[in-house]
Structure 1
């Protein structure tokens, strides 16, 4: 899992839309709310009270979900009414010459979380969930009165007191001041002393474990796990790894901005990061690699996204920067150049599979809602940071990030603030770079259009289509088995450079390490499943035969694909378009033979693999032993899109892998 802020971003967009249609209020200082909650998970109920002290000459505009029942609302002891607009109840109080006191009481009735929900279902789930297995009330869903001004949701501070059964624990962003049990009830108090995006409330029948560590600035920090009993034995391992990753990030960016970091388990396949905590599905936490992949990603979000907050407009930069500094940096450190190259290639495979219509800009990315948006907001953005570091150098790059953090911590910031930090650190004007890579859409497509070897050296001409991106193209030159890398500036449609040549022949390769955000050339890399599934023109062939297997195939495509594919008859040969073909072992084997394609070479209960058709289209092939095997594999299979092939047994991956990419060298000799 990765941090998935889309629920907050989408809720914010709804709110901004409402504000835009109504007269705005002047911006006010960060308000503070005093919230008191009584949670009854067994009954699916919550009752709550909010006290807000309004200073003189201060107005406030509050929004709460219209589905929640306001039981009383008083302003200085007098009754007050809310209006309903666009699914929200709106409470607008004008400024007064005297301090005022607002008291609001309300009740929430919610369903228990659906353990059968898919991960994709959780990405836009704003409605409160209350149940004994777990409760989740996201701030972005306006479960309590959120403050606004004319631009949108306001950062705010809060105190939160939660009263719930003693067998349950509660969690919210901020400092935990106390946790006491008396007469069968537990009372937990939280205090958010920084401007924040809001109080996300979680609860569950958790077992708590804690670890005390020392921050780089000398403070004592508390690391904690709140795990369901059946995974409580994993707490020590998670705390060990969390301490290591937190210390590593502090060395790069500075002191951790909160007093606690908590890892909590959810009964649904959730992957959320909030200030001072992460909320991950039970089954996700069971996976042995999560503590080394998702966990460092979530910890780093306490700097990016939950430490410096996203501007209300202009795009979500935090996912790409966190992917670069967590996922990518760890791959660099653990596996060296080869591992980092493989990750960049994987990103480019996904991006190159997107049609031009699906190539959105980074400035329009709000949060992950499907695989295509992840390719852009996470992977393309990470590549933009790779290119910035390559262009500016590591010293200026790291200095810019530390400057950005110090200047904007606990404030909102956008891509333009990032640009300003990099310009200050490097002394360079990066306006065109950010205009094309952040505000523009698509990928670069540089090529070697001509290479001539002669007595004066090796003259190479590079070209790219419009709009021309500002590129520092790594041109690899191999002479007599020795390779050197020439950085060629390609800032316009064409650039020509003459390089020294010490032999009669040289071999050339353009960016074979995949350091540029560019469209892969046809045949440049072996296919992976995601190249087909990300294609919005994907066709689908379900081979005739067992009706139950056909039904399982249709269920799989609904869970795997972002849109309904075009159905293609099995008799139609593969062409230039991407296509998914699903059937039994015998059905798939026969289909491959009829269309003169390479035979299946792996066994398992379910085998899925990618294949490049002779006409150029990418095929995603899924062969199943029977309907039962395919039904069991339906939940896991969509998670292996980055693989060239995967075999599954009992619904779990038994083996997987990618075919290696080989560099295509162009030979040039003196005539």
Structure 2
């Protein structure tokens, strides 16, 4: 679970019209020397900014004219500037999600390399709800100064933004007493009096943003080696702070060894005053509930620390695609799962998200991904990109793969980098040509579909010969793939594992073995990005939330209170989920449609038993007082239950059952269930809906696994299955 959000202001996209995207490594960034006074009670900000212009932006022979943008509510004191500053009459068009802007021009005479800009005003953009369709989105504000706290970023346009992307800064901040503030880089100075809190932050390395976050904080810190660890909490909690301080030290040590030296002087956990999950250079801004989730320490938190290498250490040129989220997910979220022995399950879940949420109309190349705002954009920008890096690792091996990443980090640190830069680095470091690989995975939409057409064994003088046919059934040209296979031999405890190259729509493989092969698995550990067959994955909530035209069936035989609660749930999902949800009552149908994904609501729904019948082999049974599931009995009057099953006549469709006997629980389920998309079954307890049981059904009949036909003995039967070799995690 990763919450990182990167701001991509619209005016930063537009500046590509005016300048080249990336400054050369040898060029100095534009430098802001800021003196800031914040007055949260009145949402006011007062700024003096001495702006130092780097040489490559200056004309050596004539006056230099530069343009910049600033929040429209900020008044510029032109007469206090030591340069000619004028407001332009053609303000930049505003993007719907961003702040109003004014544009200015400044003219510097030959030889002048800096100028002073003084401005002040009020900034308060109220926190608003996120995109309704995306359950993992947070409420959002481009920036505000308030009694509750302060959040300022490039999205706020609180400091002058020039065509030059990268900046460095010295930030001198004065706040009311009892407050504290955080920005990137190193804390140089701090002082508190009875009325004022004075802090100074500095970051000399190029940055693509200047953040300023402030609030009434309790600060905790510890330093081991060159990196300081900070925790800023809105209320005292020494035990919680220590957990984060220890985790910071642990994960920075791991990534220092895996990738290279951590690029900043500190890493800070900062608690926000609304729910967020933002990753900034050298700190993360997490909401009050998020920061106290116990699993965050081992999931999202290493993800945010790693973003200081990818995204905030090597920056992203968003105009050419965002590679950092996928790489960060791979070396944080996937790596954590891999260290727990759950890498296969993690990759299967990633592929399942793509299958359940991305159809042809929603697909796009990962080179066009900037940030996630829906399940489909997450499945592509995070999931597909993550799998691309996994396939590169499978091709090169762990050692060479990490060597390439170290070289990429070293070469592009504090610069913007693109997918093309990654390609150049992989080609040079691995001494291979990955052009075709990047073309099909980065710049092309879609995914291969693999089918195991046949597999048979023929006896030879010594041993057996296995012949198998693998097909790519997607439309368009076949992919060039390295596909792992496992062959199970009757007399060997471990399966034979190998990779085969496939570049045709129909590919036949022939292999010799000393003993009888009895089973073949194609990509058994989900190492290839592909569109999964529905029979490879368990039924799950994601299929209900990702369906194009799901049907929802309300129960008739319930109280008016419960019926109202179920109707409220249905209405909420009609507004927030991607598909076109049709709602009917169970007394309006004679039978269930066989070709649709269907939500069945209520213990009393007359169609609930049909779902139970589909789950009989899983040991699920409805009883007079509740439900039998996984050897335990869950009582109807105490538990809310969610089950999923495949449609018997069409395994590409799913049946989903949601049942509770308390109206408050039903209302809460409406908002809660989209966060549990990967699960096949769930049990909640009480009106607070504490999750007490969850899981995924096991898969017993994958179409990419076949018992091998024996040409010499058609009656031969063996249920022998060898073991697959365990894999080491990429880092300890």
Q: TM-score, normalised by structure 1?
A: 0.90
CA deviation map 1:205-224 (0-9, x unaligned): 2110001111xxxxx22100
CA deviation map 1:547-579 (0-9, x unaligned): 530353046526862465344664262433334
Q: Is the 8 A contact 2:395 2:482 kept in 1?
A: yes
Aligned match of 1:625 in 661, 681, 696? 661
- Indicate the larger mover: 434-443 or 641-650: 641-650
Q: Does 1:453 align with 2:457?
A: yes
Superposed displacement of residue 132, structure 1: 2.9
Q: Does 1:187 align with 2:198?
A: yes
Aligned equivalent of 2:592: 573
| RMSD of aligned alpha carbons | 2.8
Aligned equivalent of 1:177: 188
Alpha-carbon distance in structure 1 between the residues aligned to 2:594 and 2:365: 30
- Indicate the larger mover: 381-390 or 654-663: 654-663
Count of paired positions: 651
Alpha-carbon distance in structure 1 between the residues aligned to 2:197 and 2:603: 56
Aligned match of 1:429 in 417, 426, 433? 433
> Partner of 1:85: helix, strand, or coil?
coil
Aligned match of 1:657 in 695, 700, 724? 695
CA deviation map 1:339-359 (0-9, x unaligned): 111111111111111222222
Stretches of 4+ moved more than 6 A in 1? Answer: 22-28, 114-119
Alpha-carbon distance in structure 1 between the residues aligned to 2:13 and 2:407: 29
Matches within 5 A, 1:321-336: 321-333=327-339, 335-336=340-341
Q: Is the 8 A contact 1:231 1:282 kept in 2?
A: no
Aligned equivalent of 2:98: none
Aligned match of 2:104 in 76, 91, 112? 91
> Partner of 1:586: helix, strand, or coil?
coil
> Partner of 1:80: helix, strand, or coil?
strand
Alpha-carbon distance in structure 1 between the residues aligned to 2:435 and 2:131: 43
Alpha-carbon distance in structure 1 between the residues aligned to 2:338 and 2:330: 10
Superposed displacement of residue 202, structure 1: 1.0
Matches within 5 A, 1:164-313: 164-214=175-225, 220-229=226-235, 231-313=237-319
Aligned equivalent of 2:124: 110
Aligned equivalent of 1:4: 4
Superposed displacement of residue 155, structure 1: 0.9
Q: TM-score, normalised by structure 2?
A: 0.83
Q: Is the 8 A contact 2:555 2:563 kept in 1?
A: no
Aligned equivalent of 1:352: 355
- Indicate the larger mover: 619-628 or 601-610: 601-610
> Partner of 2:144: helix, strand, or coil?
coil
Which runs of no fewer than 5 residues in structure 2 stay unpaired?
95-100, 616-620, 713-732
Q: Does 1:491 align with 2:503?
A: yes
Superposed displacement of residue 373, structure 1: 1.4
Alpha-carbon distance in structure 2 between the residues aligned to 1:46 and 1:489: 61
Distance change (3 Å), C-alpha of 1:252 and 1:33: same
> Partner of 2:479: helix, strand, or coil?
coil
Distance change (3 Å), C-alpha of 1:525 and 1:23: closer
Aligned equivalent of 1:470: 480
Aligned equivalent of 2:490: 480
Superposed displacement of residue 327, structure 1: 1.2
Alpha-carbon distance in structure 1 between the residues aligned to 2:540 and 2:407: 39
Aligned equivalent of 1:217: none
Q: Is the 8 A contact 2:570 2:583 kept in 1?
A: no
Q: Is the 8 A contact 2:44 2:120 kept in 1?
A: no
Rg larger for: 2
Q: Does 1:40 align with 2:33?
A: no
> Partner of 1:144: helix, strand, or coil?
coil
Aligned match of 2:645 in 592, 596, 611? 611
Distance change (3 Å), C-alpha of 1:120 and 1:511: closer
Alpha-carbon distance in structure 1 between the residues aligned to 2:553 and 2:104: 54
Superposed displacement of residue 160, structure 1: 1.5
Which runs of no fewer than 5 residues in structure 1 stay unpaired?
215-219
Superposed displacement of residue 658, structure 1: 1.2
Distance change (3 Å), C-alpha of 1:542 and 1:159: farther
- Indicate the larger mover: 44-53 or 248-257: 44-53
